[in-house]
Amino acid sequence: MYDILKSRRSIRKFTDKNIEEAVLEEILKGALMAPSSRSIRPWELVVVRDKDTLSSLGRCRGAQSALIGGADTAVVITADTALSDVWVEDTSILAAILQLEAHAKGLGSCWVQIRNRSKEEGVTAEDYIKELLKIPEGYGVECVIALGYPAEAKAPHQEEKLPIAKIRKEQF
């Protein structure tokens, strides 16, 4: 796991190679094993593979989200907000596990934040995605995880650059 954490980086450029269905299924199943508060599992995942829809999703936040249009797959992570007061935390844990599982399978990924972000003046990224994907009322959209085979290589994290001073022992 340490090696996976050390080498996983956000990938914003993807090849044209399609993710095999069996690989995608394992990644999604792995994500569904994520812990959640009181095991409520308030999340719902919308898997998008259609190129036109990916392109539209890529416009949810302007330049910051354009990478979605070049991905093979996007996973939109939503939750029924009435089920849990910690749906944000639960979906964040699931998203992180999804990215780690994707990396372990040789895929690249990038988290695109949606909650509390804008598409343009007067339009939230969340409302845009809810309309695009027909997400029902009462659901929040935390993020979109773009997935694909990486078309860029990034150096692993360097241990000597880790902010070790942020670790406090016994007291702050």
Question: 143, 115 in Cβ contact below 8 A?
Answer: yes
CA distance linking residue 134 with residue 104, whole number of Å: 31
Give the predicted TM-score (pTM) of the model: 0.96
pLDDT digits (tens, 9 = 90+) for 13-60: 999 999 999 999 999 999 999 999 999 999 999 999 999 999 999 999
pLDDT digits (tens, 9 = 90+) for 92-122: 999 999 999 999 999 999 999 999 999 988 9
The share of the chain scoring above pLDDT 70, in percent, equals 100
Nearest to 11 by CA among 84, 79, 57, 71: 71
Q: In Å, what is the CA distance from 64 to each residue of 58, 137, 152? A: 8, 26, 18
Model pLDDT, residue 121: 86
CA distance linking residue 87 with residue 12, whole number of Å: 26
- HSE-CB at 148 with a 13 A cutoff on CA atoms is 26
What's the chain's average pLDDT? 97
User: Tell me, what amino acid is at 63?
Assistant: A
Domains, the chain:
2-152 (3.40.109.10)
